[in-house]
Amino acid sequence: MKLSNGWTMLGLLTLAFVCFLGANYRPVATIYINPQKVLGKVNRMVFGNNQLGYQYDAWKYTTPEYADRGAGIWDPERGQPVPEMVKFARDIGMSTARYPGGCGSHLFDWRKAVGPIEKRPNQKFGMPEFLKFCKAIGVVPVVTVADYFGTPKDAANLVEYLNASDDGKHQWARLRAMDGRKEPWKVIWFEFGNETDHGAHNSMDDFGKRHRFTAEEYAIRYREYWKAMKAVDPNIKLGAVLANDVTPTLSDWTKTVVKLTGDIADFYIHHAYIPHYYRNDGVPNAEALFKIAFAGPRQLEAYYRELRKFIRKTAKRDIPVAVTEFNGHFVQEKPVPYRFTLGCALVVAELLQIFMKPDLNIVHAQYWQFANEYWGMVKGYSPPYTLRPAYWVFWLYHHHFRDLLVDCRVECDSYDTEGGYGVLHARGKPTQFQLFPGNLLPQQKWALRDVKGVKHWEEIDGTLVVEILTDEKLNYYHAAKRMSAEPLTGYRVTADVRTEGLAKSRGAQIQVGDGRGWLVTKSASLSPEVKSSVWQTVSVDYITLPDTVEIEILARRLEDSGCKGKIFVRNLMVQKFIPLNLGSVPILSAIASKSRGGRRISIAIINKDLNDSTRVCIVGLKAKRAIGWSLSGPSVDATNEVDSSLVRPRKLNEVIVKRGEVFATLPPHSFTIIVAE
């Protein structure tokens, strides 16, 4: 009898017998592999990294280590890549490299990053140096085009510099030849901007008055850049920036950009950071925090599925997504910098599993970030270097994961988490999002606090009016309403908002967060900005913390370089909702591949059990021998910052092959690859 998934009844009976026999080996999880069911090729393009080349005069936070040394990958004195960094990049199978980095690209003037070195003393690691680094490793370059600086013509000239023939007809190609490269670089992948929805940062505003594009403005500019760049080289691909959503509820920015660019966009851009943790007080403890964090990748997978469905429906075609930044978003130092821990590396390992799934249509991805800076997986500007846990995740995939994805299914225990820090609660059986009718906000007047440069009042009909009387920088959050709230509960806040005089500056928003305030909890959500004189209805969803007892709703205008104007808010409403629940979190996640000849099968497994080893039985292989390597450490928050050998891959001791099936014991909080043949 043959079952629908390719298994036979005899095969299942054999499996049951083998797992029972197991030489006193009692598996608590089973991984089913069907090598004959090929899902597609392993997309090595997701094993990319970011390289930094920020300019001195574009961002106040930049340093010579970025503009001159590429955060440690370039030797400006010798005019060549740092040999050790080239070796590290090759050893992890780096496939793509993104330049010039994240927010430093908002005002990046590429013209200051080309030409003779002596004429660019503040940019010794420029465009030609980055491309020489790419060539030394054999990686595909991804170039970010400034969004808050320049014109479509500037972007077209960049394409000419990179891709046009040096035939006497192209002045920028002539400059490239003078930079040591006569042949075109043939760069294909470009992205128009970086996290454009959050605007340029302080002292990073080419448009004046701290401009922040609306989704509509961005889409118009994208189309202009797309047309100008394609006119120079129709083979290039230009990506459009979406919001960094972490739940399957797509933001207004994302929906608008897809609607307005779906007929021409080559690909879309998303940054995958989860969880969003900023606290330095050790609350919750590491074990509780990483139980939450390990629920995050599955949530992002649900987001990518929803995004692909929306793109297909809206654009009437399939448009791929590039994840040009990804990591665990731990922005803190105490009790340890969680971004450098084994636990964060396991989040990265599962994100890579998700990016490889063909049905998500992810074309390439770049880890943030390769060397040094705040996040680098390699630390050091000279030997001895520290290789952090995330480095070894890439190393394991590169050295031991095969070429063709095959069907893989896991049966294992699971655990519940209440979520938090951007991660939805995950408990029991999956449930859908549910919004309850009715306004929960008690009748109350706006609580108004005096602030210099502002006059604000509440009209008889309840409309809040905020008059900004100064052109000086002002962070407005001085009108509030409060209400009691339940922990780990969703609240949707809706309001009608309009403005006067703020069309070319930061707009008005609604903020909802924990009643103790942002400085105490670092927990709040913001609605889209409004800069129109026409009433607009905005909404924002907020999920409370495990210890929340009250929420605070603020009329908000983020700090601006200065602009007088008025804000109007009316019809404030609060509704309770039950967030999407993906169900309990499996303690194992796995993905499998085979060599092109089919002789070797690789199974990459993440064990999220933080306390105990997990015994697994892998069936369907008909294996004769097997070997495994596991990235683990003494605790989930272990780092290599003091002892560089504390977290690194080691050969798995207990791997047994019996009657063609593989039995293994996975260490707690570990990433393991088992190769069977």
Quickly list DSSP for 255-305.
HHHHHHHTTT-SEEEEEEEEEEE--SS--S-HHHHHHHHTTHHHHHHHHHH
User: Is residue 421 scored above 60 in pLDDT?
Assistant: yes
User: How remote is the C-alpha of 663 from its chain's centroid?
Assistant: 34
- Could you tell me the pTM of the whole model? 0.87
User: Is residue 11 scored above 50 in pLDDT?
Assistant: no
- Domain co-membership, 156 together with 20: no
What does the pLDDT read at residue 352? 98
Give the residue from 558, 560, 567, 531 showing the smallest Cα distance to 472: 560
Tokens representing 448 are 């108004």
What does the pLDDT read at residue 6? 44
79: three-class secondary structure by DSSP: coil
The pLDDT tens digits for 491-524 are 999 999 999 998 878 889 999 999 999 999 888 9
Look at 192 and 1; give whichever has higher pLDDT. 192
- Domain co-membership, 565 together with 597: no
Residue 259, in any domain of the structure: yes
Q: Which domain holds residue 21?
A: 9-40+412-422+585-676
- Domain co-membership, 502 together with 650: no
End-to-end Cα, the chain, rounded Å: 27
Distance in angstroms (rounded) separating the CA atoms of residues 48 and 351: 13
What does the pLDDT read at residue 25? 53
- Domain co-membership, 352 together with 212: yes
User: Is residue 204 scored above 50 in pLDDT?
Assistant: no
112: three-class secondary structure by DSSP: helix
- Domain co-membership, 530 together with 574: yes
Task: Spell 565-599 as b/e; 16+ CB within 10 A means b.
Answer: bbbbbeebebbbbebbbbebbbbbbbbbbbeeeee
| pLDDT, averaged across the chain | 92
DSSP single-letter state for residue 243: P
The pLDDT tens digits for 397-420 are 999 999 999 999 999 999 999 898
What does the pLDDT read at residue 497? 97
Percent of the chain with pLDDT over 70: 93
- The H-or-E segment that residue 348 falls in is helix 342-355
- Domain co-membership, 53 together with 143: yes
Is there a contact between 394 and 91 (Cβ–Cβ < 8 Å)? no
- Domain co-membership, 570 together with 624: no
What does the pLDDT read at residue 61? 53
Distance in angstroms (rounded) separating the CA atoms of residues 316 and 287: 44
Residue 270, in any domain of the structure: yes
User: How remote is the C-alpha of 538 from its chain's centroid?
Assistant: 25
CA dihedral 247, 248, 253, 255 (to 10 degrees): 180
What does the pLDDT read at residue 202? 54
Residue 202, in any domain of the structure: yes
Distance in angstroms (rounded) separating the CA atoms of residues 671 and 649: 9
Residue 245, in any domain of the structure: yes
User: Which domain-ending residue is among 528, 545, 578?
Assistant: 578
User: Is residue 26 scored above 80 in pLDDT?
Assistant: no
Residue 632, in any domain of the structure: yes
What does the pLDDT read at residue 9? 47
Domain with residue 438: its CATH number is 2.60.120.260
Domain with residue 313: its CATH number is 3.20.20.80
What does the pLDDT read at residue 249? 87
User: Is residue 469 scored above 70 in pLDDT?
Assistant: yes
User: Is residue 135 scored above 70 in pLDDT?
Assistant: yes
- Domain co-membership, 117 together with 226: yes
Give the residue from 451, 536, 471, 524 showing the smallest Cα distance to 499: 536
**Where are the alpha helices (H) located in 356-445, listed in sequence order?**
389-400
Is there a contact between 221 and 192 (Cβ–Cβ < 8 Å)? yes
pLDDT band, residue 205 (cuts 50/70/90) = very low
- Domain co-membership, 379 together with 443: no
- Domain co-membership, 474 together with 597: no
Look at 26 and 329; give whichever has higher pLDDT. 329
What does the pLDDT read at residue 555? 97
The pLDDT tens digits for 213-227 are 889 999 999 999 999
Residue in the block written with tokens 């309840």 = 462
Number of neighbours of residue 314 by Cβ within 10 angstroms: 15
User: Is residue 393 scored above 50 in pLDDT?
Assistant: yes
CA dihedral 548, 549, 555, 561 (to 10 degrees): -40
pLDDT band, residue 19 (cuts 50/70/90) = very low
Cα within 13 Å of Cα(528), Cβ side: 22
- Domain co-membership, 574 together with 618: no
Residue 428, in any domain of the structure: no
Look at 527 and 73; give whichever has higher pLDDT. 73
Distance in angstroms (rounded) separating the CA atoms of residues 184 and 186: 5
- Cis ω before 369 (30° cut-off from 0): yes
Look at 101 and 341; give whichever has higher pLDDT. 341
Query: How many domains does the chain divide into?
Result: 3
Distance in angstroms (rounded) separating the CA atoms of residues 509 and 569: 9
User: Which domain-ending residue is among 578, 610, 642?
Assistant: 578
User: Is residue 394 scored above 80 in pLDDT?
Assistant: yes
Distance in angstroms (rounded) separating the CA atoms of residues 322 and 236: 15
The pLDDT tens digits for 449-458 are 999 999 999 9
User: Is residue 164 scored above 90 in pLDDT?
Assistant: yes
- The H-or-E segment that residue 10 falls in is helix 9-21
What does the pLDDT read at residue 62? 61
pLDDT band, residue 31 (cuts 50/70/90) = very high
Instruction: Give me the phi and psi of 125, to 5 degrees please.
Output: -105, 85
Domain with residue 602: its CATH number is 2.60.40.1180
Residue 401, in any domain of the structure: yes
pLDDT (average), residues 552-576: 91
426: three-class secondary structure by DSSP: strand
pLDDT (average), residues 622-645: 97
Is there a contact between 473 and 562 (Cβ–Cβ < 8 Å)? yes
**Where are the alpha helices (H) located in 141-295, listed in sequence order?**
152-163, 171-178, 215-232, 252-261, 286-293
Distance in angstroms (rounded) separating the CA atoms of residues 585 and 428: 9
User: Is residue 207 scored above 80 in pLDDT?
Assistant: no
User: Which domain-ending residue is among 539, 560, 578?
Assistant: 578
The pLDDT tens digits for 580-608 are 899 999 999 999 999 998 899 999 999 99
- Domain co-membership, 132 together with 195: yes
Residue 4, in any domain of the structure: no
